[in-house]
Amino acid sequence: MSESQEVAVSDDDRRTQVRRRYGSIAAAGRLDVSTPAPSSCCGTGATSSCCGDPAVTIQLGYTPGQLASLPGGADLGLGCGNPTAILGLKPGQAVLDLGSGAGIDCFLAARKVGARGSVIGVDMTPEMLTKARENARKGGYRNVDFRLGEIEHLPVPDASVDVVISNCVINLAPDKGKVYREAHRVLRPGGHLAVSDVVATRPITAKERADPSLWSSCSSGALEVGTVKALLKRAGFVDVKVKLRTPENVPDSLKGQFSLGVVSADIQATKPQV
């Protein structure tokens, strides 16, 4: 049997792996670090887990004031940056969060866009949606709507949002090109994409990509920077920028990813004006 036959994994298998992992995290309210993944957005072991640790969340670009404003349970520590800080959100804007989890970035965006603005969070894991909706109820967020869906098939109309954000999620999608095309579809002309995600600094092998723990823990699904830029441009975006976080400016709990050549990055792009 060839290597490609040995490591073949279907897109549906990948989605099932991701749903299972993040459904468990949502149900527990934290990452189960008793059985850590070899490399993870949330660390590589019980002593280095970042999940729900405010100090680590602040290192990723959030402020103490932002964290204090959140309903309890909104920060599960699953991100690799702060997409709401990449560009300045404005009052009245419509924002879409791809893979919204327990709602941390949706709630921060909701405060920035205000009552005249709106935020949609899309997640494919029902347990995460339940948690996010409960957090929205606790926090009194009336301008946030959480929807069940895959980010390759967004339940959002064409040209209906001003900004698309995402935090360490697009790497989990089997078809990143389709994610970017969907983001382009739902953005209004002149709209912006602002994403915190992981990217690869070396080629990732087929065997590594087939490892369910590596893929579902935000590691082996990462693409190299050149590929990310090419997919965004092919989707129709312009002004594409990818800014890497080096080992010197990320929390210790994220450095386990560097063994796989994966680093976090801030990604920006714009949909051209018609």
Contacts of 33 (CB under 8 A, 6+ apart): 42, 43, 45, 46, 49, 51
The Cα 168–Cα 36 span in angstroms is: 18
Give the residue numbers spanning the domain of 16. Answer: 3-270
The answer to whether residue 253 scores a pLDDT higher than 60 is no
DSSP string, 201-256: SSPPPHHHHH-HHHHHTTSTT-EEHHHHHHHHHHHT-EEEEEEEPPGGGS-GGGGG
- Does the predicted model carry a pTM greater than 0.85? yes
> What CATH number is given to the structural domain containing 11?
3.40.50.150
pLDDT tens profile 122-169: 999 999 999 999 999 999 999 999 999 999 999 999 999 999 999 999
Q: What is the mean pLDDT of residues 45-53?
A: 38
Beta bridge partners of 224: 200
pLDDT band (50, 70, 90) for residue 260 = confident
The Cα 169–Cα 265 span in angstroms is: 12
The Cα 3–Cα 23 span in angstroms is: 31
**Average pLDDT score over the chain:** 86
8 A C-beta contact, residue 125 and residue 22: yes
pLDDT band (50, 70, 90) for residue 45 = very low
The answer to whether residue 249 scores a pLDDT higher than 70 is no
Q: What is the mean pLDDT of residues 69-80?
A: 91
Q: Among the listed ranges 116-125, 230-239, 249-258, which one has the minimum average pLDDT value? A: 249-258
Number of domains composing the chain: 1
Q: Among the listed ranges 77-81, 115-119, 258-262, which one has the minimum average pLDDT value? A: 258-262
pLDDT band (50, 70, 90) for residue 55 = confident
The answer to whether residue 208 scores a pLDDT higher than 70 is yes
